[in-house]
Amino acid sequence: MAKYLLLKHYRGGPTPHVDFGTMDQWTPAEVDAHIQYMRDFAARLEGTGEFVDGQALSPEGTFVRYDGEGRPPVTDGPFAETKDLIAGWMVIDVESYDRALELAGELSAAPGPGGRPIYEWLELRPFLTAAPTVTE
Amino acid sequence: MNETLLRELIPAVTGVLVRRGVDFATAEDAVQEALIRALDTWPQDPPADPKGWLVTAAWRKFLDELRSDTARQAREARVAAEPAPGPADTDDTLQLYFRCAHPSLSPASAVALTLRAVGGLTTRQIARAYLVPEATMAQRISRAKRTVSGVRLDAPGDLATVLRVLYLVFNEGYTGELDLAQEAIRLMRQLTALADDPEAAGLLALMLLHHARRPARTTAGGALVPLAEQDRSRWDTALIAEGVRILQAALARDRLGEYQAQAAIAALHADAPAAAETDWVQIVEWYDELVRLTGSPVVLLNRAVAVGEADGARAGLAALAEVPPAVPRRAAVEAYLRERDGDLGTAARLCAEAARAATTLAERDHLTRQAARLNAALRP
């Protein structure tokens, strides 16, 4: 089994395949349908023994860095409009890369305006694993 | 009674229920409930007859389930009419290995089911070892059980798939409170006592020989230590002696297989008092056998390393030319051989490339350090 991170972006990534606008422009029913699709997807993966974790992130955020001994950390933000912005993630534990692709494809088909798939770009990243025992 | 001894009883208890006519999936569930109760109550109140206690607890659990589900009344009648106990415990346990590693299961499902039904681990322990939520692991196991529950095991099972599953468990190593390598060794010891087979013995030997090196494999900080740099005084000589003895007995039967060949390579490493005294010529010969047995490109890659040690870096690079470009860790091997051939620039570039492509954290860190070391050496 291998763990993968599915990253959802508010911004960034390749040019959207269809322009589905921001969710605040959708009807409440369309928003509900979209969220329900995500929930159902996660529940289904729990049923297949492939779900590990899922979280959503607020678009609000700040860059923080160390600024020297005895000084408070420096902050920079809110994020610039051009920044790649992560909206949330799901972690899956699957048998193969192909299975990870298949699931990412399904999640990307979540419904948007008019109940049509939004063709959302999702970022798929493999986890680094622990070292195997047998190496030579 | 310690937890390991308790776990050793689990397959036999499941076997008793199955012989009483309970289907495998239901029996296994009832035994898991009994196991969890035992873990909870035995420390304060140890039973005089542990196995009898487990059978009684599991049987009661099964009857409770049956009574609570009126739709199962028909089955109760069927169970009551079931014939007397059949084969002995050892056959039951061997059948359980075959069932849990049935070829209809995916490797991960077979691993989870084997650890629970044969290994006697709880779902929570298995979930923690594989870093997934308990609910996810519970579903993985229950799906696996549904898949194999109806399977009839009239013919002897497929030992090769059982060995593959235990090899995977061993290779997962040590990921937390549960020592999967140790657990794989325990299950392999039990299996070799039940099934007389040179490849099973070969795999047990392979596990023991690798496990013997574990104290020297990582630094206190968790960084990987390559074989050549390991402190060999920290290898477990008793495990090595046992592994070599088991391997020799297996090889004497003249039915070579990949696990015996891999164990032979591990034994040759174990036999060298210092890395420089390794018998690389013999190791190359064993890799030739492995190539013949498996045709695996990963074996070809490891063979190129051995050729490099036996006949020099140029010969190693020539052997590497036969390895397909897409094989994982190929760049790392080429970097090593290039450095030995004196081409530090290419080695540094390949190390950095290999670090970016590494799939394990320890390997990435190791390769990054190697690249940094080479780049520092290149600076005027």
Instruction: Yes or no: say if B113 and B100 are a contact pair by the CB < 8 Å rule.
Output: yes
CATH number at residue A113: 3.30.70.1060
Mean pLDDT for chain B overall: 91
Q: Can you give the residue range of the structural domain that contains A53? A: 2-126
Is-above-0.90 flag for pTM?
A: no
* Best residue in B105, B139, B180, B305 for a mutation probing chain A (most A CBs within 10 Å): B139
Q: Is residue A132 part of a domain?
A: no
Task: Tell me the shortest Cα–Cα distance from B236 to chain A, in angstroms.
Answer: 15
Q: How confident is the model at residue B88 (pLDDT cuts 50, 70, 90)?
A: low
Q: Is residue B292 part of a domain?
A: no
Please check the confidence at residue A134 and state whether its pLDDT lies above 90.
no
Chain A residues whose CB is inside 8 A of the B136 CB are 45-46, 49-52, 93
Would you state the pLDDT for residue B311?
A: 97
Q: What are phi and psi of B81, to 5 degrees?
A: -90, 5
Distance CA A122, CA A104 (A): 7
Percent of chain A beyond pLDDT 70?
99
| Model confidence pLDDT, tens digit, residues B282-310 | 999 999 999 999 999 999 999 999 999 99
Q: Is residue A72 part of a domain?
A: yes
ipTM field: 0.82
Mark whether B93 and B130 lie in a shared domain.
yes
Q: How confident is the model at residue B138 (pLDDT cuts 50, 70, 90)?
A: very high
Query: What number is the average pLDDT over the span B55-81?
Result: 76
Q: Is residue B248 part of a domain?
A: no
- Number of neighbours of residue A96 by Cβ within 10 angstroms: 11
Closest CA to A35 of A105, A88, A97: A88
Task: Tell me the shortest Cα–Cα distance from A90 to chain B, in angstroms.
Answer: 13
Q: How confident is the model at residue B316 (pLDDT cuts 50, 70, 90)?
A: very high
Would you state the pLDDT for residue B361?
A: 85
- Which of B137, B163, B194 is a domain's end point? B194
Q: What is the DSSP letter of B117?
A: I
Are A136 and B143 an interchain contact pair (Cβ–Cβ within 8 Å)?
no
Q: Is residue A131 part of a domain?
A: no
Q: Is residue A133 part of a domain?
A: no
Of the listed ranges A48-62, A72-86, B13-27, B78-92, the one predicted with least confidence: B78-92
Mark whether B52 and B123 lie in a shared domain.
no
Would you state the pLDDT for residue A16?
A: 86
B252 CB burial (10 A radius; 0-12, 13-18, 19+): exposed
Q: Is residue A74 part of a domain?
A: yes
Structure tokens at B125: 């322990």
Distance CA B375, CA B355 (A): 14
Of the listed ranges B58-62, B105-109, B150-154, the one predicted with least confidence: B150-154
Please check the confidence at residue B150 and state whether its pLDDT lies above 90.
no
Total domains in chain B come to 3
Out of A47, A52, A136, name the one closest to residue B132 (CB). Answer: A52
| Model confidence pLDDT, tens digit, residues A70-103 | 999 999 988 777 778 899 999 999 999 999 999 9
Mark whether B41 and B79 lie in a shared domain.
yes
Mark whether B3 and B51 lie in a shared domain.
yes
Please check the confidence at residue B263 and state whether its pLDDT lies above 90.
yes
Query: What number is the average pLDDT over the span B47-71?
Result: 89
Mark whether B81 and B101 lie in a shared domain.
no
Mark whether B9 and B41 lie in a shared domain.
yes
* Best residue in A1, A91, A99, A127 for a mutation probing chain B (most B CBs within 10 Å): A1
Would you state the pLDDT for residue A103?
A: 97
Would you state the pLDDT for residue B69?
A: 74
Q: Is residue B52 part of a domain?
A: yes
Query: What number is the average pLDDT over the span B238-247?
Result: 98
Task: Tell me the shortest Cα–Cα distance from A22 to chain B, in angstroms.
Answer: 33
- Which of B194, B211, B245 is a domain's end point? B194
Residue of chain A minimizing CA distance to B106: A95
Would you state the pLDDT for residue B93?
A: 87
Q: Can you give the residue range of the structural domain that contains B81? A: 1-85
Per-residue CA distances from A17 to A106, A114, A120, B42, B100 (Å): 15, 16, 7, 61, 45
Mark whether B81 and B177 lie in a shared domain.
no
Distance CA B259, CA A110 (A): 47
Would you state the pLDDT for residue B54?
A: 95
Closest CA to B10 of B172, B192, B186: B186
Instruction: Yes or no: say if A103 and A95 are a contact pair by the CB < 8 Å rule.
Output: no
- Which of B34, B62, B85 is a domain's end point? B85
Of the listed ranges A106-115, B79-88, B268-277, B316-325, the one predicted with least confidence: B79-88
Please check the confidence at residue B85 and state whether its pLDDT lies above 80.
no
The SS3 of residue B139 is helix
Of the two residues B178 and B144, the one the predictor is more confident about is B144
Please check the confidence at residue B84 and state whether its pLDDT lies above 60.
no
The number of residues making up chain A comes to: 136
Instruction: Yes or no: say if A37 and A68 are a contact pair by the CB < 8 Å rule.
Output: no
Please check the confidence at residue B83 and state whether its pLDDT lies above 50.
no
The end-to-end CA distance of chain A, in Å, is 21
Q: Is residue B206 part of a domain?
A: no
Q: Is residue B136 part of a domain?
A: yes
Instruction: Give residue ranges of A with CB < 8 Å to any B CB.
Output: 1, 3, 45-53, 93, 95, 126, 128-136
Structure tokens at B151: 């399977």
Q: How confident is the model at residue B66 (pLDDT cuts 50, 70, 90)?
A: confident
Total domains in chain A come to 1
Task: Tell me the shortest Cα–Cα distance from B79 to chain A, in angstroms.
Answer: 30
Distance CA B367, CA A122 (A): 30
Q: Is residue B295 part of a domain?
A: no
Task: Tell me the shortest Cα–Cα distance from A95 to chain B, in angstroms.
Answer: 7
Please check the confidence at residue A44 and state whether its pLDDT lies above 50.
yes
Closest CA to B284 of B253, B323, B260, B316: B316
Would you state the pLDDT for residue B373?
A: 94
Instruction: Give residue ranges of B with CB < 8 Å to any A CB.
Output: 106-109, 112, 130-133, 135-137, 139-141, 143, 167, 170-173, 175, 181, 206, 210-211, 214, 224, 227, 262, 265-266, 269, 302, 305, 358-364
Close Cβ partners of B236 (under 8 Å, ≥ 6 residues apart): B211, B212, B213, B214, B215
Residue of chain A minimizing CA distance to B212: A133
Specify whether the backbone of B22 is left (phi greater than 0), alpha (psi in -120 to 50) or beta.
beta
